[in-house]
Structure 1
Amino acid sequence: MEQKKVGILGGGQLGRMLISPAIDLDIELHFLENDSDAPCSAVSKNFHKGDITNEQDVLGFGRQMDVISIEIEKVSADALEQLEKEGKKVFPQPAIIRLIQDKRLQKQFYKDNHIPTSDFVLIDNKEELIKYLTEKTKSDSNLFPIVQKLGKDGYDGKGVQILKNVEDAKQNGFEAPSLLEEKVDIEKEISVIVARNEKGEIAVFDAVEMVVNEKYNLLDYLLAPAQITESQKEESIRLAKEVIEKLGNKEGINGMVGLLAVELFIDKKGNILVNEVAPRPHNSGHHTIEASTTSQYAQHLRSILNLPLGKTTLRSSAAILNLIGEENHTGKPFYEGLDKLLDLENVYPHIYGKKITKPARKMGHITILGNDVDSIKEKIDKVKSSIRVITK
C-alpha cells in the first residue's frame, strides 16, 4: 500500500487514539488544531496549529494532504467543500458533515427518509419558542416535560435542556435556532457504530448500552454488548446501515464514507428511535480498542482510505467508564489512585493528556473486560472509587 498523508481536523483525544492504528499501517497522520496543548500535540510530530473552523486555515492544511477527515464536527464545511471540488478526497463527505453539524437538518433528514425518530418541531428563536409552547399547552396538557436542543454547537450535554413549563422556557429557553423534541419514555439508550468505504463495503459493531450521568448529561458508563433482545439487536443494526447509506443519497454522493456512530433510544414500548449521529470515532466505541477484533479507530482509517474493513467481532464483554474532572477542581490534573487502578485485573486506563482539568471535563476513560456483563457490572463501582481527577 502506498503511504498516504491523512489530515485530521481536530487534535483531541479521538485524534490521539487514531495514532496507534495509523502507525500499524504506516499511515502518515497530520493534525490541525488551534490549541497548542491539545492531546495530540505532545504525541504527534505532525501537529499543525490552525483553526479548524477557519476556511483559509483548513484550505491551507487540506491542500497538503491526500485524504482529509475529522475527529470533531465543528469544522469549516465551506473549506472542505472547496477541497473536494479541487479533487481532494474528503471523508465523511462535506455535504454530510454540514447536515450533521445542524441537529435541525439531522432531524428533518430522518423524517424525510422515514427513519424512526421522536416527534419534533423547529424553533427559530426564544420568542417563537414561548409563543409555540403557550399555544400548544392550551390543547395538550401532557406537553411537558419537553426537550430543547440547539441546532448548532451543542456537545457533551451542552446545548440540550429539558423544559418543564412555559415559565421555564421564558427563563431558560435558547435564543438561537433550536428544535423541540418529544421527551421519549426511555427504556434504554444504545449506540451502534457502522463503517463504510468507497467500495460500498459496510461493517457494523455490536450495539452497546449507554448509561447517562443525569447531572452532566453525558455518558457515565457503557456496557458491551447491550442487554437487548435479538430482534432489537437486528433492528438497531438495520437502522445503522440504513442511516449511513441514506446519508449519501444526495447531491451525487453514493453513500457516506467513514465511521458513523448512531445513537438510539429504545422506548418503554420496545420501539427503536434514532436520536443523533456522529460521523467520526465516538465515546461509545472506546471499548473496541481492547474488546474487539478491530478498533473503531483502525476502522475509521480503513474506511476513509478505501481499505478492506476489519472484522467487528466482540472478543470480550466490556464496560467503559468516563474519567471526568471532579467538582471544585480546575487546573493541572492529578490522577489520584491511578496506581491502585493499575493493580486491578482486566482494567485498562486511557489518560488523554489534557493539561487542564475542569468539573465534568472528559480527562480519560477506563475499559473493563470480563467474561460477561454481569461480572463486569460488579466491578464498575470498585473501579469508579479507585481513581479521581483532582488538582493538587
Structure 2
Amino acid sequence: MTTSSSAAAAGLPAGVHGTADPRFDSAIKTFARVFAGRRGNGGALAVYRHGEPVVDVWAGAADAHGTPWTADTGAMVFSASKGVSATVLARLADRGLLDYSAPVAEYWPEFAANGKARITVTELLSHRAGLSALPAATPGEVLDHELMEARLAAAKPDDLLGAPIYHALTIGWLMSGLARALTGRDMTRLYRSEVADPLGVDGIHLGRPPAGSRTRPAHLVGSLKTLAERSIPAPVAAAVPRLPRLLRAPLSSIYVPGLESIFRGDDPAILDTALPAGNAVCTAAALAKMYSALACDGYVDGRPYLSTPTVRELERIRTYRIDHSLLVPFWHLGYHSLPAARAPRGYGHVGAFGSTGWTDPRSGISVGFVHNRMSLTWSPLDQTLVVALLHLILRAARDPALDIRQRTTAGAA
C-alpha cells in the first residue's frame, strides 16, 4: 500500500486513513464527520464492488487512551456476528451436510425434546423456533456456550412458536449447537475453517483473536460501557419479568441479572466465550470481503466460495410477518433485510450500536462497517448511520462511470 504526504493530498478528509475510490466521496465524508479526529473512539468502513475493494478507510482511536485505529483494528460487532454464523451454516449446506428444509432434530437429536421435533432449520434461522428468551442462567453460565446449547436443546418453545420474534442471543447457541452436531467442531474453529481461511482474511474471529493474529480488538468505550462497570440494582433486574409483553420480550432475550458484568474492564469476559450471536471481532475490510461472496454469486478472488444456488437461497426472504420484538426486519436464513420505506436494498445483519455487514447483489456491492462506541448519547446516530452510508454507497455504485481508481493517505498501516 502506497502513501502520500497528507490526507489532503490524497483527497480524503482530515483524520481518515486508508484507500477509497473518489466516486464514494459522499459516504467517506459522512463517515469522517462521525469518526475522524475522535480520541476516545473510532471506526472503519470498507466497500467491495463486483469483488474488488473500492473503499477501505478508518479513523479515530481504538481505545480511551487514544491508540490510533489501524487497518488491523477489529471491533466486536454485536449482532452483526449472526451474519458470519449464518455464513458458516451456508458453507455446510453447500457441501450437502445440511438441508434448510429438514427438521433441526434430524441432525441434532437432543433438539427434539419438549415438542421441537418438527421445527425446521429454516424456521430456526428465521427466528421462528419459539426460543427467544434466555434460559435461566447466571452470567458465568451464559459464558458456557456448550451449556447454553444443551439448555436450548432441552427447552420447551413458548407460545410464539412459528411466529418471528428476534432470538437476540439464543439464535447463536442454536446455530452453534446445530453446527457442532454436523461437524463435531465449535463455532470458534468453524469461523476459521469456513470463513476466515477460505476467504484469506485475518479479520474475522469469534471472540478474542488468537495469539499470532494481526487483528487487535478495539476497547469498548462510551457511557453504556461505563454503566456496565456497575451492577444493575436487583429490584430493577427483578422487574423485567413483570413488564408488559411488548417490553418484556426483547429484554428477556438479552438480559439475565448480572449480565452487565461480562462487559467490565478493558479485557472483558465476553471476549473469552463463543457467542455466535454477538461477540465476533471483525475488521471492516474482512466483513466486506465475506459479504462480497454473497454479492458475486458465491465467488471470491475468482474462486468459488459458495455455489450460486446456495447464494440464491440466502437471498430469499423466509417470512414477511413483522417481527414481534424488533417490529422491523424481514428474516432470511440467519440474515435480514429491511421492509421500511426507502430502506437500502439487499440483506445482511446490523448489530447493536450499528456495526454492520451488508450485501446488495443487484449492484454487486458489499459493505463492512465497524466501530467501538457504546454510548447512550451517540446510540441513535450510530444505530442508523449505516442506513445513510448504504444509501450513499449504493447511489455511487449506480454511477455508470464508476471506476476503481484509488488513493491513499499518510499513516496507512
TM-score strictly above 0.5: no
The TM-score normalised by the length of structure 1 is 0.25
The TM-score normalised by the length of structure 2 is 0.24
Structure ranking higher on relative contact order (CA contacts 8 Å, 6+ apart): 2
